[in-house]
Amino acid sequence: MTALDNFREQVLGAAGARRTLRIRGGGTKDWYGQAFEGDILDTRGHAGIVDYEPTELVITARCGTPLAEVEAALAERGQMLAFEPPYFGDGATFGGAVASGLSGPRRASSGAVRDFLLGAVLMDGQGQVLTFGGQVMKNVAGYDVSRLLAGSLGTLGLMLQMSVKVLPRPLRESTLRFEMSEIDALKRLNEWGGQPLPISASCWSDGVLTLRLSGAQAAVEAAERSLGGASVHDGAALWRALREQQHGFFSGADSLWRLSVPSAASAILLRGEQLIEWGGAQRWLKSASDAATAHNIRRAVSAAGGHATLFRGGDKSVGVFQPLAPAIAKIHERLKASFDPAHVFNPGRMY
């Protein structure tokens, strides 16, 4: 029996018995989202790189492929997943990276997971294998459906394989450090964002703004002279720690909130400690997660034009994700009913 046959048997069996399935790869992101239920459908047996053409800047791999294997193959050819997906553990899989929809420090300059997803093969709640998109950017058939799967946390179906666009690794990178307040950091980031500077990542925490510059050597050196600041010797380690939430800020965080706001938003005054990424567009908040605090956080972030997610820890009864407007919630319900009418896959994982 092939892996696909095994998956189909589990899906149809669960649908017929009115049971649920919990799609799981390496389990490195089990903590993300609402509480889940159901029998485990382990994707790791369906692994391997299906196709990789460096000259086309596209790689296709099965859902259970270790994320490290994909990135190692790209690194051999001087390429990368530009959205810098976090691992959060050694067992991270390619499918989990796409399903979670999480991106690392480079997201603000290069784009998110969904921006690089060209195509996907999905098994729906009726055991049917559906193909969306393709392997080149000009193939737009079903492209929006592929993008829809990124960040869906497996609630629409089992992603069997995905094709993603990759990019060349930058020829030169350097990291600069500046001491400044939160207000000054946000002001500078927005000013620099409107200039042709090769800024590929930013982080402000505890009075220190850190920038990563990436690109051709001449462009990086020119930006270094223009910006000033102090050079950070091992910048790669800093950005890796930030991506994996091993940065000192994240230690001891019982409840970690992710605030997504327009990059031009001013400082958001909330009780707790904050770290700012993505040129001001992503902000992390260490705070409580009781109902009153959650209400205050979401009210303040909504007023700034964004939304708040209870990313780690805390009381999930307040809702991990920002509550949806009725019209958007109805769209979610219709999509779920179309792809998974028996509600087999990851029920309640998002809402």
How confident is the model over 230-256, as pLDDT tens digits?
A: 999 999 999 999 999 999 999 987 899
Rounded CA separation 173/349 (Å):
38
Amino acid 313: pLDDT: 93
Amino acid 327: pLDDT: 96
Kindly list the structural domains of the chain, giving each domain's residue range(s) and its CATH number in brackets, ordered by start: 3-168 (3.30.465.10), 172-318 (no CATH)
Of the candidates 32, 59, 15, which has an alpha carbon nearest to the alpha carbon of residue 158?
15
pLDDT score of 143 more than 50: no
Amino acid 136: pLDDT: 55
How many Cα neighbours within 13 Å face the side chain of 96?
A: 30
pLDDT score of 203 more than 90: yes
Bridge partners of 283, per DSSP, are 259, 276
Query: In 3-state terms, what secondary structure has residue 224?
Result: helix
Residue 93 is given by DSSP the state B
Rounded CA separation 148/132 (Å):
11
Average pLDDT on 164-184 reads 98
Of the candidates 222, 46, 37, which has an alpha carbon nearest to the alpha carbon of residue 123?
46
Rounded CA separation 258/345 (Å):
25
Amino acid 351: pLDDT: 87
pLDDT score of 134 more than 90: no
Average pLDDT on 315-329 reads 94
| pLDDT classification of 304: cutoffs 50, 70, 90 | very high
Backbone φ and ψ of 311, nearest 5° = -75, -50
Amino acid 173: pLDDT: 98
Amino acid 231: pLDDT: 97
Amino acid 145: pLDDT: 83
Give the model confidence (pLDDT) of 327-349 as tens digits.
999 999 999 999 999 999 999 99
Angle at CA of residue 277, ends 272 and 278, nearest 5°: 145
Q: Are 191 and 233 in contact (CB under 8 A)?
A: no
Amino acid 91: pLDDT: 96
Q: What percent of the chain has pLDDT over 90?
A: 93
Bridge partners of 132, per DSSP, are 120
Q: What DSSP assignment string belongs to 168-203?
A: EPPSEEEEEEEE--HHHHHHHHHHHHTS---EEEEE
Average pLDDT on 116-127 reads 96
pLDDT score of 141 more than 60: no
| pLDDT classification of 135: cutoffs 50, 70, 90 | low
Of the candidates 258, 260, 262, 282, which has an alpha carbon nearest to the alpha carbon of residue 272?
258
CA distances from 289 to 257, 260, 349 (A): 9, 17, 18
pLDDT score of 97 more than 60: yes
pTM: 0.93
Amino acid 253: pLDDT: 79
Rounded CA separation 244/84 (Å):
10
Amino acid 265: pLDDT: 95
N-to-C CA span, the chain: 35
For 316, the token pair is 């999930």
Among the listed ranges 144-148, 196-200, 224-228, which one has the minimum average pLDDT value?
144-148
Q: Are 47 and 66 in contact (CB under 8 A)?
A: yes
